[in-house]
Amino acid sequence: DFALYFSKEKGRNRATLYDRGLEQRYRRRRDMQDELPVAIREGSLDIYFQPKVSLTDRAVTGFEALVRWHRKGGIVMPNEFIPLAEESGLIIELDLFILRRAAEIIAGWNKENGVALSVSVNLSALHLMSGKIVREVADALDATHLPPDLLTLEITESIELRDWARVQNTLLELRQLGCRISVEDFGAGFSSLAYLRAMNADELKIDQSLVSEIETSEEARFILDAVMDLAQNLAMSVVVEGIETEEQAAAIRQMGGSQAQGYLFGRPVPAEEALAATRPVELGETG
Ligand code: C2E
């Protein structure tokens, strides 16, 4: 979908290829930027839950909360709007909405069913630096009565060196509240060991890019193996993300992996649907 147009630039005649698709994407982006604050406040954001399972018996131990945006009859995925929310700072409000709502849903479900499922939420680095996060997490725990150890805060982005002292302090306070800290996407990009050590986290999430290569790359297997050993030595629990096949699950089990997430066990689905699937089938319900 291209059009050719001519422009006069610095006195020269130039032909420029004009991409209508590009303009549409630009317009969509701008519209989303305008609509996002309203979407957060007026409730068109939704929480999907993806199960986290124990690899030994595939029992669901908890869920990761993933944001979705219902917009003009369709669903917008986080990869499209999280970067916009980060640019504008709205990510803090967004993450807070997900944190409160996810804690409320899980606490309610646990109480109703006499279970102790955990919930993981994503926190942006910006939020960690906001100076308000500890209070906000404490308030969310108070309001929902979710036991703190059932809440895991997943930290994704790398944090700039100059912010470290502050971040470490905040992470410490969050752990003192009793909730768990998880380092995400380890194995993607240039993850550093110093970073891992400084985070002093409870959990390490291994990125799906490593898992997807498990059958084709010996190197990927070596790295996975080494990272899992490292985590164990640092007394961190390991969650392997993005398991899609039985072969991948078997390989991860062989390496000693005990917890996983991935399409093989369950895709992210609306919260009610995800939770209903964890309810044990009662006698007589099957027929
Ligand atoms: P993430 O935290 O690493 O979440 C895992 C992503 O991998 C999810 O994508 C999930 O749908 C996808 N996934 C899970 N299992 C598989 C699998 O077996 N195969 C493949 N190919 N993909 C799988 P999703 O929901 O699109 O989220 C993308 C990212 O957006 C998340 O990555 C997270 O970084 C960010 N995000 C999502 N919700 C929030 C939120 O509430 N706040 C913040 N700050 N970020 C969020």
Q: What percent of the chain has pLDDT over 70?
A: 88
* C-alpha 200 to ligand 1 mean position (Å): 23
Segment 128-156 shows an average pLDDT of 95
Q: What is the pLDDT of residue 69?
A: 96
Residue 259 amino acid letter: Q
Segment 150-154 shows an average pLDDT of 97
ipTM score above 0.95: yes
Q: Choose the weakest-confidence range: 16-30, 145-159, 164-178.
A: 16-30
93 touches 124 (CB < 8 A): no
Which residue's alpha carbon is at the smallest distance from atom 43 of ligand 1? 122
Q: Is residue 2's pLDDT more than 60?
A: no
**55 pLDDT band (50/70/90 cuts)?**
very high
The structure tokens listed for 73 are: 């009859």
Q: Strand 203-206 vs strand 180-186: parallel, antiparallel, or unpaired?
A: parallel
**Residue predicted with more confidence, 252 or 282:** 252
Which residue's alpha carbon is at the smallest distance from atom 37 of ligand 1? 66
Looking at every residue in the chain, the average pLDDT score rounds to 89
* C-alpha 66 to ligand 1 mean position (Å): 6
Which residue's alpha carbon is at the smallest distance from atom 22 of ligand 1? 242
* C-alpha 17 to ligand 1 mean position (Å): 35
The structure tokens listed for 55 are: 């690899």
Q: What is the pLDDT of residue 169?
A: 92
Which residue's alpha carbon is at the smallest distance from atom 46 of ligand 1? 122
Partners of 238 in beta bridges: 204
Ligand 1, pocket residues at CB < 6 Å = 50, 66-67, 77-79, 82, 91, 95, 98, 122, 124, 154, 156, 184-185, 208, 241-244, 261-263, 268
* C-alpha 284 to ligand 1 mean position (Å): 37
* C-alpha 241 to ligand 1 mean position (Å): 10
Segment 197-222 shows an average pLDDT of 91
140 — phi, psi (to 5°)?
-65, -40
* C-alpha 64 to ligand 1 mean position (Å): 9
* C-alpha 50 to ligand 1 mean position (Å): 9
**Residue predicted with more confidence, 122 or 7:** 122
**Residue predicted with more confidence, 160 or 237:** 237
**Residue predicted with more confidence, 162 or 85:** 85
Q: Is residue 223's pLDDT more than 70?
A: yes
Which residue's alpha carbon is at the smallest distance from atom 15 of ligand 1? 262
**287 pLDDT band (50/70/90 cuts)?**
very low
Sign for the pseudo-dihedral over CA of 58, 62, 64, 69: positive
pTM: 0.90
Please tell me the distance from the alpha carbon of residue 232 to that of residue 217, in angstroms, as a whole number: 23
